[in-house]
């Protein structure tokens, strides 16, 4: 039914329906009983946090923290909001989100559309659930790269009291020049500045870096060096890709869709390669959250076997629906964690 609407319309309709339904008496209890799966073997301790299971919702789905209590009933081990910017912004012109159904993929050029850091903070302050929340932060479109540090510091301060960990997003392809911040010197300056801010707080919050899948091995080496120097807690690998290789979708259709980041099944192999490279190069000393092309439990297990500690889903969740997390959890409990414990 949702696929009869445009991708962005379907997203908003699903949001509204889900929120409305779960306002009904006992609806949250029913959703929890249907979709959650509890198994002690799935629990993971990382960054000083206790994750009931390793499956998280990636940033981009609930940008403004409007649905965290409702999404918690679906069994996620953690939920990442954002990307949140200091000031509200509308994002790029529509249409800006496209389905590649044959490829089980999405292309988006949303452009960090969000209601700003204060709105997100207010919602998180009022939430009733206990799920681990990550705060994915970025800079506003009109902020030049030379002033980007200030934007990240503002968003960090605004969300500090309400999130359990932070993610520095410099890897979206949909904000002009943002990926230039992944270059060695600008990235080092940014991460060091955020950590200076972090160390002035009452408690040090875990800070992770989200990277693009399109980086070369030498750039990945630089990332590991900087992550170590800045004493970051880990890396999220990966964001969406600008590549359009090996797609089934017609080339004319792709050209009509235009620019944007590709996510979903076609990203799976490359994102796993990045996870494996980072894990081996760091000798397993840098925790990795894997994202990219995870459509089922077997895909998640592939990421974990490559060296990830946790996984995140987004496009797979769009295609597989709310029962996905329970199915994945059962698969991992039966096929991966029983051998790890």
How far is 106 from 263, CA to CA, in rounded Å? 5
Let me know if 256 is exposed, middle or buried by CB neighbors in 10 A (0-12, 13-18, 19+): exposed
Residues classed as catalytic: 172
State how far the alpha carbon of 4 is from the alpha carbons of 11, 13, 110, 135, in Å. 12, 12, 20, 32
**Residues 77, 233: contact at Cβ < 8 Å?**
no
C-alpha neighbours within 13 Å on the C-beta side of residue 17: 8
State how far the alpha carbon of 209 is from the alpha carbons of 121, 222, 228, 276, 336, in Å. 21, 13, 11, 16, 26
**Residues 180, 186: contact at Cβ < 8 Å?**
yes
**Residues 211, 223: contact at Cβ < 8 Å?**
yes
How far is 31 from 124, CA to CA, in rounded Å? 21
């Amino acid at each position: 039914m949702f696929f009869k609407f445009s991708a962005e319309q379907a997203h908003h309709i699903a949001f509204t329906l889900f929120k409305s339904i779960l306002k009904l008496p006992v609806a949250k209890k029913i959703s929890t009983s249907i979709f959650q799966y509890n198994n002690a073997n799935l629990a993971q301790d990382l960054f000083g946090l206790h994750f009931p299971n390793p499956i998280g919702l990636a940033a981009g789905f609930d940008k403004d923290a409007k649905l965290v209590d409702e999404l918690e009933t679906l069994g996620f081990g953690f939920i990442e909001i954002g990307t949140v910017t200091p000031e509200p912004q509308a994002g790029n012109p529509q249409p800006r989100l496209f389905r590649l159904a044959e490829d089980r993929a999405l292309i988006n050029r949303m452009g960090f559309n969000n209601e700003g850091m204060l709105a997100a903070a207010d919602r998180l302050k009022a939430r009733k659930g206990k799920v681990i929340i990550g705060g994915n932060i970025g800079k506003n479109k009109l902020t030049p790269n030379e002033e980007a540090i200030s934007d990240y510091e503002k968003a960090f301060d605004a969300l500090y009291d309400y999130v359990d960990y932070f993610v520095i997003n410099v890897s979206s392809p949909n904000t002009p020049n943002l990926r230039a911040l992944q270059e060695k010197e600008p990235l080092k300056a940014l991460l060091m500045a955020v950590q200076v801010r972090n160390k002035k707080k009452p408690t040090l919050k875990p800070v992770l870096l989200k990277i693009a899948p399109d980086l070369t091995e030498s750039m990945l080496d630089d990332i590991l060096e900087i992550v170590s120097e800045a004493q970051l807690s880990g890396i999220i690998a990966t964001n969406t890709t600008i590549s359009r290789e090996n797609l089934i979708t017609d080339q004319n259709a792709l050209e009509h869709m235009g620019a944007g980041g590709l996510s979903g099944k076609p990203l799976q192999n490359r994102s796993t390669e990045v996870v494996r490279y980072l894990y081996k190069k760091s000798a397993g000393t840098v925790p990795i959250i894997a994202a990219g092309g995870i459509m089922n439990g077997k895909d998640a297990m592939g990421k974990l076997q490559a060296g990830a500690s946790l996984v995140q889903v987004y496009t797979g969740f769009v295609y597989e629906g709310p029962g996905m997390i329970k199915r994945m959890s059962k698969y991992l409990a039966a096929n991966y964690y029983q051998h790890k414990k």
